[in-house]
Structure 1
């Protein structure tokens, strides 16, 4: 059987014809494909990559010719991935990620450097991670942090395709699965909170029935501890009465202090308000267990920058009982997930 021939890009980003099949693994060609798949625009992809638009178009056409399938549907001025394109994308993600990991491993074998992409919710980023970030930056100043918030139901996908390197999550205690490694770092106590003059503060024990008529001020749908509360109520035949949703924990705290309702938040997020008497924990009859966790993909290569971050999290977060950290110099991106 003769060899299958394929196009590969040259140093200027233009495809070189009649290259052997094994050169399909050229990360430059696959990186172009990934960029077009992400932007769904040949023009924007060319701008990002610094190529002429014609070079990007030729690379995609060459890749389609080599694979024998159409990777994009051309819908007038719009494009969309075909089923074959989506299949190739998952492989392209892994190939490019491995190539980048190999480069980092060879080029930075001694001193951690490069980019570290982390997913973490607002509570953890504000009250658990600042001491870790501060100490890490002092030790390894050549590592760039990129911080996102990925919903829990997308972690498998994002960790699997390399979009994020590690997640520091806030969730119910988990065990390691066949895809993800989960390390429970520290239990997080959840408190039912009200203003000092709220009627429920006079109750010796707050029972679930007491909560049904109350107005709850809660984080957005999908928040792990909100999910726990709603499940607990549902199991007892109860439901929240028109809860108020907030995208900011600070806003929730201020509105509860103002007497607008009650809330459920981790103790680590309300230390100052408890010490100053602005919020009062209610003595309710239930306990909800959640924890701060490290999560990464089982097949993830633990490159030096990631290895040092994992080590610091394991060392420092279990000791950060008071949660006194603040993100003074770290800018977090806007997100719809703030729990």
Structure 2
């Protein structure tokens, strides 16, 4: 049985889309479709029902899923063991953007230290373009950035951080109960606008610009902690990445409000390296996404 067919099956189920799985696997959508067709021939059954743009596991697909996940885990664990048998350097230099340093990196560094006890870890925090330059100059070994298109650099999708509207405790939008509301419901609101300069924010810009009466942006900040504190102090409401507000959401000081028009907008973080270098470290990092099901294994 072809491991690539099993990988496509697990990824499609996880992301709920052939196109999304193709993006994550860096292959074309027809290739993903061909792999599923090949798998279905091998199993002699359909694994997905396709209803328009939506897909669902068939009963046979649900039965096969845990075995496919286990096969993929064993394969990737074995691959990691083989790659990690080589010479491990004494120091690993990692670069990351500010948000990754603040909200992901402590967990990732502890994971690496557990996997490589003798390793010294050095972290550099900088904007995406600066990190790319440092990687090309070999001043760092790996980096977590927003997006890159460069033939000399290998990029691995690491995680997606959904951008949602957050309001303070007691805000009228927080009292409306669960469910989605319209972007028009914030037209009278004072808005704290955080922006990190990433292209991922362009979709949010377009949504706001499409409103007949855009919200009143009183505070424009480039720091997540500042934005959060302004909302908590009831200065306004703000669109924020989910990872940055985990503690506040648990404490109940910030409440997420789902906006139909902004659903699906997220910050995408990739792990990058110079092609073929530090494969063992890359594979180890791709095994985890803090607080979630491992991104690479997708179980």
TM-score of the pair, normalised by structure 2: 0.57
> What are the superposed Cα offsets for residues 262-281 of structure 1, whole Å, 9 maximum, x if unpaired?
11222222222222221111
Asked if the contact 2:164/2:256 (under 8 Å) is kept, the reply is yes
User: What's the counterpart of residue 198 of structure 1?
Assistant: 171
Q: Residue 177 and residue 236 in structure 1: after superposition, are their counterparts in 2 closer, same or farther (change >3 A)?
A: farther
User: What's the counterpart of residue 87 of structure 1?
Assistant: none
User: What's the counterpart of residue 230 of structure 1?
Assistant: 205
User: What's the counterpart of residue 320 of structure 1?
Assistant: 291
User: What's the counterpart of residue 182 of structure 1?
Assistant: 155
Q: Residue 236 and residue 182 in structure 1: after superposition, are their counterparts in 2 closer, same or farther (change >3 A)?
A: farther
User: What's the counterpart of residue 278 of structure 1?
Assistant: 253
Deviation of 1:257 (Å): 1.4
Q: Residue 150 and residue 233 in structure 1: after superposition, are their counterparts in 2 closer, same or farther (change >3 A)?
A: same
Asked if the contact 2:200/2:268 (under 8 Å) is kept, the reply is no
> What are the superposed Cα offsets for residues 200-253 of structure 1, whole Å, 9 maximum, x if unpaired?
335574433343443333435414554442243235577664442445433322
Asked if the contact 2:154/2:274 (under 8 Å) is kept, the reply is yes
Asked if the contact 1:271/1:322 (under 8 Å) is kept, the reply is no
Q: Residue 221 and residue 268 in structure 1: after superposition, are their counterparts in 2 closer, same or farther (change >3 A)?
A: closer
Q: Secondary structure at the match of 1:275?
A: helix
**Whole-Å Cα distance in 1 between the matches of residues 272 and 113 of structure 2?**
21
User: What's the counterpart of residue 337 of structure 1?
Assistant: none
User: What's the counterpart of residue 41 of structure 1?
Assistant: none
Listed as ranges, the gaps of 5+ residues in structure 2 are 1-84, 295-299
User: What's the counterpart of residue 15 of structure 2?
Assistant: none
Q: Residue 243 and residue 296 in structure 1: after superposition, are their counterparts in 2 closer, same or farther (change >3 A)?
A: farther
Name which of structure 1's ranges 283-292 and 253-262 shifts more when overlaid on structure 2: 283-292
Deviation of 1:297 (Å): 3.3
Listed as ranges, the gaps of 5+ residues in structure 1 are 1-108, 324-339
Deviation of 1:284 (Å): 0.9
> What are the superposed Cα offsets for residues 266-314 of structure 1, whole Å, 9 maximum, x if unpaired?
222222222222111112112103333212233xx51xxx333212211
Q: Residue 130 and residue 322 in structure 1: after superposition, are their counterparts in 2 closer, same or farther (change >3 A)?
A: farther
**Whole-Å Cα distance in 1 between the matches of residues 127 and 206 of structure 2?**
19
Match for residue 120 of structure 2 among 144, 149, 155: 144
User: What's the counterpart of residue 12 of structure 2?
Assistant: none
Q: Residue 212 and residue 220 in structure 1: after superposition, are their counterparts in 2 closer, same or farther (change >3 A)?
A: same
User: What's the counterpart of residue 100 of structure 2?
Assistant: 124
User: What's the counterpart of residue 55 of structure 1?
Assistant: none
Instruction: Tell me the C-alpha RMSD between the 2 structures.
Output: 3.3
**Whole-Å Cα distance in 2 between the matches of residues 237 and 160 of structure 1?**
45
User: What's the counterpart of residue 13 of structure 2?
Assistant: none
Q: Secondary structure at the match of 2:100?
A: helix
Match for residue 270 of structure 2 among 293, 318, 331: 293
Q: How does 1:40-55 map to 2 (within 5 A)?
A: none
Match for residue 111 of structure 2 among 135, 154, 164: 135
**Whole-Å Cα distance in 1 between the matches of residues 114 and 255 of structure 2?**
38
